[in-house]
A and B are shown apart, each in its own frame.
Chain A
């Protein structure tokens, strides 16, 4: 059985080329993005891409967390894949930390208006929460906890491979996993489910607020993270690895992608309809540039890619069991939610819709980074968690 992943030369080259495109775009951006909206666009693009890809990688940690807490054994055959993706979290955290440091302490690109609340009644009222000290402390704590818990979960899984196979140590293993994943669930709920999207992204529109925003961001990154896991599973499968993974596992991943695309739409609609119905100026200001302004095409493209396409294409049983189609939909969903982040960040910062060469280039760079890090991690350990008690359940899995 091919259980030890060896990074193919082509994958390595691809990741380096993508990484090179990203760095080149960044370099061009430094020189090309001057003028009125230039620096703003430079930093807004960095903010959009770094936060999006960090949250997508973090979705893998959350995947490990929920399946452990729910005692979901079906995913054990490809468990090392989300683990490997999640190890990108510490690296991406550093990037986010650097970008936010420049944005908050350097006030680069004038993205966060709440840094200067003087004379603005609304911002002065919000300043106990939205100030440089509190926001940066929260950011550091959040990023540190995410990274530490991710690394801890990965270490625990690798330690399993050297374990003894008696009843008691297996019980202890499950219990230990439950405790650490329970801890991560609390951290994730308090950060990703509430404060983090507020302080990083919602505070761009400092006057505006929405109680759905964090959940909306979570749904967006969670469905992208599931798509990323599916993409790596299909890739490994196409190279002849993961022999125990079959259509049954792919079907369940496809169900997740379908279900959470619909969940995202539900949250999208809940946020949109309440604001549309109440029709209060301080709330509708958010949708003004998006629905009726320059970003109108992006707004509707977002809905088509992230709702209509998954709904109609992934609805059929056969399409969820088709490797090619799941891989295609995975790529499409990740692009769709990247576009979603684009329309969350850009209308309030850059204010005009340009062809997103800079943002796309940076995105490709981040994709390259994630591919490189994940491939490295996959090669570090066997692809099957062979001592885990739930492995058998996963092998005989039947939907």
Chain B
């Protein structure tokens, strides 16, 4: 719940955006995020984002699923309630494999979705500030976070020099919050 100041620049061309991202990083400004209407290959590298560890999390969830399935079924059929099913052994591993597979997939899928939601700060009823209404349509929007040392005018001038079409200053909630979108206006109304 941190209210921060941003300078927001909008680009209408992918070919301008890439060098702009590079120059902004070189100049030492902190890019809060870049919003694009479609996924752009290589933008994550240009922004210097680290490799995601979502797949490692997925692997761990999958192992949990495998363990859960195998340990529960073997406990039920060997200890808690042994049954004779078609003369098969009490620990019929081949028969357990499909269920183990399903639970592995289920755990990793659901776990990865939840983790992804958390990392992207998304959840039902939770709101995030939208920097530009056209960021999901046809504009590439770059939000630069201002610190005590960076002046808004300086950043605006810099964004103008790297080719931003539309530049403005916004005060917004950096994280996620519960509630309605008009709350933002009330909080930050001067």
Contacts and interface: CB of A to CB of B under 8 A. Distances in A.
Interface string A290-320: 0000000000000000000000000111000
B97 A269 contact: yes
A273 B59 contact: no
A277 B95 contact: yes
B28 interface: no
A63 B127 CA distance: 48
Contact of A273 (B41, B55, B95): B95
A310 B166 CA distance: 50
A276 interface: yes
* Chain B interface main SS type: helix
Give the bracket for the number of chain A residues in contact with chain B.
10 to 19
A101 to B, nearest CB: 40
Interface residues of B, number: 11
B45 to A, nearest CB: 10
A279 B87 CA distance: 10
B20 to A, nearest CB: 20
A273 B97 contact: yes
Interface in A315-345: 315-317
A276 B94 contact: yes
B36 to A, nearest CB: 16
Contact of A315 (B59, B94, B95, B97): B59
Contact of A398 (B41, B86, B95, B98): B41
A263 interface: no
A65 B123 CA distance: 45
- Count chain A CB atoms within 10 A of each CB in B42, B59, B94, B98 and give the residue with the most: B94
B94 A272 contact: yes
A316 B56 CA distance: 9
A181 to B, nearest CB: 28
7 contacts: A272-B94, A273-B98, A276-B94, A277-B95, A279-B87, A315-B59, A398-B41
Given A276-B94, A398-B41, 16 more contacts: A269-B94, A269-B97, A272-B94, A273-B94, A273-B95, A273-B97, A273-B98, A277-B94, A277-B95, A279-B86, A279-B87, A315-B59, A316-B55, A317-B51, A317-B55, A398-B42
